[in-house]
Copies of this chain bind each other. A is one copy, B any other.
Amino acid sequence: MQNLDAAFSAMADPTRRAILARLATGEATVMELAKPFEMTQPAVSRHLKVLEGAGLILRRVEGTKRPCRLAPAAISEIDRWLDVLRQALAGNYDRLDDVLATMEPRDGKAAG
């Protein structure tokens, strides 16, 4: 996973979420993914590139095909970030400090 910007941004698109949901049921090639969407193959290819760039999927080479699957570690960074909000919403303000402390500090700005 490269960064949260890319991950959240990738998941903000309904087509890409649908692709991820499809991949949750198992590996699929580009054409297999393209079929259910009224969308051209190049468009799907680019969506896959975005998902791969965000670290959300992996691809293998299998002859002329490029089967995609979910990237195992992708969700954990998102979850780690969401924990901040979960803790706050749960009212667990004791634990919140711990959660915030585990977040990577960035250049001046708050935890991004």
Q: Are A88 and B100 in contact (CB under 8 A)?
A: no
Question: Which 5 A-B pairs rank lowest in CB-CB distance, beginning with the nearest?
Answer: A24-B88, A14-B112, A9-B12, A18-B110, A8-B12
Q: Are B74 and A18 in contact (CB under 8 A)?
A: no
* Binding site secondary structure of chain A: helix
Interface size on A, residues (CB 8 A): 40
Instruction: Tell me the chain A residues, 1-42 only, with Cβ under 8 Å from chain B.
Output: 4-5, 8-9, 11-15, 17-18, 20-25, 36-37
Residue among A11, A78, A96 with most chain B CB within 10 A: A11
Q: Are A88 and B18 in contact (CB under 8 A)?
A: no
Given A5-B12, A12-B5, residue A24 in contact with residue B112 (CB < 8 A): no
A interface list, Cβ under 8 A from B = 4-5, 8-9, 11-15, 17-18, 20-25, 36-37, 70, 72, 74-75, 78-79, 81-82, 84-89, 96, 100, 103, 109-112
